[in-house]
Chain A
Amino acid sequence: MKHLILALVALTLFTGCGKKSLTNVETGTPNQILHVGNGEEPRELDPLLTTGSPEHNILYALFEGLMSKDPETLKVQPAVAKSVELSEDKKTYRFTLRENARWSNGDPLTAKDFVYSWKRSLMPNLGSEWAYMKYYIKNAEAFHSGKIDDFNLVGVHAVEEFVLEVELEYPASFFLQLLDHNSYYPVHQATIEKFGPIDQPISPWALPENFVGNGPFVLTKWAINQIIETKRNIYYWDNNNVKLNGVNFYPITDQQAEVRAFKAGQVHLTSTPSMAIEKIAHYKQNQPDVLRIAPTYSIYHYEFNTTEPPLDDVRVRRALSMAIDRETLVKRVSKGGESAAYTFVPADPEGYTAEPLFSYDPEKAQALLAEAGYPDGVGFPLVEILYNTQDNHRKIALALQQMLKDNLNIKIQLSNQEWKVYLNTKRNLEHNIARAGWLADYLDPSNFFEVLYSKSGNNDTGWKNSEYDKIIEDLKKTHIEEERFKLFAAANKILAEEMPIIPIYNYSDLNLVSTEVKGWHNNVLHYHPFNRVYLESPEKSL
Chain B
Amino acid sequence: MLLYILKRLLSAIPVLFFVVLITFVLIRLAPGGPFDEERKVPAQVLENLNKRYHLDDPVHKQFFDYVGGVLKGDFGPSYKYPNRTVTEIIYSGVPVTVELGFYALLIAMVIGICTGLIAALKPNTPQDYIPMSFAMLGICLPSFVLGPLLILSFGIWFEILPVSGWNYSANDKILPAITLGSTYAAYVARLTRGGMLEVLSQDYIRTARAKGLPEWRVILLHAFRGGIAPVVAFAGPAAAGLLSGSFIVETIFQIPGMGRFYLQAAFNRDYTMILGTTIFFAFLIIAFNLLSDVILVWLNPKLRKESAS
Q: Does chain A bind chain B?
A: yes
Contact digits for B230-270, partner A, Cβ 8 Å, 1 yes 0 no: 00000000000000000000011111100011001001010
A37 CB to nearest chain B CB (Å): 10
B4 CB to nearest chain A CB (Å): 38
Known: A41-B81, A427-B40. 17 other contacts (CB 8 A): A4-B111, A11-B171, A16-B170, A17-B169, A51-B39, A125-B48, A127-B48, A145-B44, A202-B77, A252-B254, A260-B151, A263-B156, A266-B168, A419-B32, A420-B32, A423-B37, A427-B36
B7 CB to nearest chain A CB (Å): 38
B38 CB to nearest chain A CB (Å): 7
Q: Which residue among A43, A204, A251 has the maximum number of chain B CB atoms within 10 Å of its CB?
A: A43
- Taken together as a complex, chains A and B put the C-alpha atoms of A252 and B251 apart, in Å, by 9
Q: Which residue of B lies closest to A45 (CB)?
A: B83
* B114 near A3: Cβ-Cβ < 8 Å: yes
- Taken together as a complex, chains A and B put the C-alpha atoms of A206 and B81 apart, in Å, by 12
- Taken together as a complex, chains A and B put the C-alpha atoms of A131 and B48 apart, in Å, by 13
Q: Which residue of A lies closest to B48 (CB)?
A: A127
- Taken together as a complex, chains A and B put the C-alpha atoms of A458 and B255 apart, in Å, by 35
Residues of B within 8 A of A43 (CB): 80-82
**Is residue B221 within 8 Å, beta carbon to beta carbon, of the partner chain?**
no
A149 CB to nearest chain B CB (Å): 16
Contact of B264 among A41, A44, A204, A223 (CB under 8 A): A41
- Taken together as a complex, chains A and B put the C-alpha atoms of A539 and B141 apart, in Å, by 43
Binding stretch for chain A, among B55-63, B159-167, B275-283, B285-293: B159-167
User: Considering the complex, which residues of chain B in the window 102-158 have a beta carbon less than 8 Å from any beta carbon of chain A?
Assistant: 107, 110-111, 114-115, 131, 134, 148, 151, 154-156
| Chain A residues engaging chain B, CB cutoff 8 angstroms | 1, 3-4, 7-8, 11-12, 15-18, 20-21, 23-24, 41, 43-44, 49, 51-52, 124-129, 131-132, 145, 201-204, 206-207, 223-226, 250-254, 256-257, 260-261, 263-264, 266, 418-421, 423-425, 427, 437, 457-458
Given the known interface contacts A44-B81, A250-B254, A260-B155, the answer about A225 and B171 at a Cβ–Cβ threshold of 8 Å is no
A213 CB to nearest chain B CB (Å): 16
Residues of B within 8 A of A266 (CB): 162-165, 168
B211 CB to nearest chain A CB (Å): 32
* B160 near A18: Cβ-Cβ < 8 Å: yes
Contact of B82 among A202, A251, A252 (CB under 8 A): A202
| Chain B residues engaging chain A, CB cutoff 8 angstroms | 30-33, 36-45, 48-49, 52, 77, 80-84, 89, 92-93, 107, 110-111, 114-115, 131, 134, 148, 151, 154-156, 159-171, 174, 178, 182, 251-256, 260-261, 264, 267, 269
* A15 near B174: Cβ-Cβ < 8 Å: yes
A508 CB to nearest chain B CB (Å): 19
Contact of B83 among A3, A41, A206 (CB under 8 A): A206
Q: Which residue of A lies closest to B92 (CB)?
A: A224
Contact of A124 among B44, B89, B264 (CB under 8 A): B44
Residues of B within 8 A of A226 (CB): 165-167, 256
* B159 near A20: Cβ-Cβ < 8 Å: yes
Given the known interface contacts A11-B174, A226-B256, A260-B151, the answer about A204 and B114 at a Cβ–Cβ threshold of 8 Å is no
Residues of B within 8 A of A206 (CB): 83
* B32 near A421: Cβ-Cβ < 8 Å: yes
Q: Which residue of B lies closest to A4 (CB)?
A: B111
Given the known interface contacts A15-B171, A127-B49, A223-B256, the answer about A458 and B40 at a Cβ–Cβ threshold of 8 Å is yes
A54 CB to nearest chain B CB (Å): 12
Counting from the closest, the 8 A-B pairs by CB-CB distance are A420-B32, A225-B256, A457-B40, A127-B48, A424-B31, A17-B171, A264-B163, A226-B256
Residues of B within 8 A of A20 (CB): 159-160
A183 CB to nearest chain B CB (Å): 12
* B52 near A127: Cβ-Cβ < 8 Å: yes
* B37 near A51: Cβ-Cβ < 8 Å: yes
Contact of A260 among B77, B160, B164 (CB under 8 A): B164
* A3 near B115: Cβ-Cβ < 8 Å: yes
- Taken together as a complex, chains A and B put the C-alpha atoms of A9 and B241 apart, in Å, by 26
Residues of B within 8 A of A420 (CB): 30-33, 36, 267, 269
- Taken together as a complex, chains A and B put the C-alpha atoms of A423 and B34 apart, in Å, by 12
Residues of A within 8 A of B134 (CB): 1, 4
- Taken together as a complex, chains A and B put the C-alpha atoms of A224 and B91 apart, in Å, by 11
- Taken together as a complex, chains A and B put the C-alpha atoms of A242 and B30 apart, in Å, by 48
30 residue pairs of the A-B complex, CB under 8 angstroms, read A1-B134, A4-B111, A11-B171, A11-B174, A12-B171, A17-B170, A18-B160, A41-B264, A43-B80, A43-B81, A44-B83, A124-B44, A125-B48, A129-B41, A223-B256, A226-B167, A254-B252, A257-B163, A260-B148, A261-B164, A264-B162, A266-B164, A266-B165, A419-B267, A420-B30, A420-B31, A421-B31, A421-B32, A457-B40, A458-B39
Residues of A within 8 A of B131 (CB): 3
Given the known interface contacts A44-B81, A266-B164, the answer about A260 and B48 at a Cβ–Cβ threshold of 8 Å is no
* A201 near B178: Cβ-Cβ < 8 Å: no
B159 CB to nearest chain A CB (Å): 6
Contact of A204 among B33, B83, B171 (CB under 8 A): B83
- Taken together as a complex, chains A and B put the C-alpha atoms of A149 and B49 apart, in Å, by 21
Residues of B within 8 A of A204 (CB): 83
Q: Which residue of B lies closest to A203 (CB)?
A: B83
* A418 near B45: Cβ-Cβ < 8 Å: no
Q: Which residue of B lies closest to A19 (CB)?
A: B160
Q: Which residue of A lies closest to B185 (CB)?
A: A4
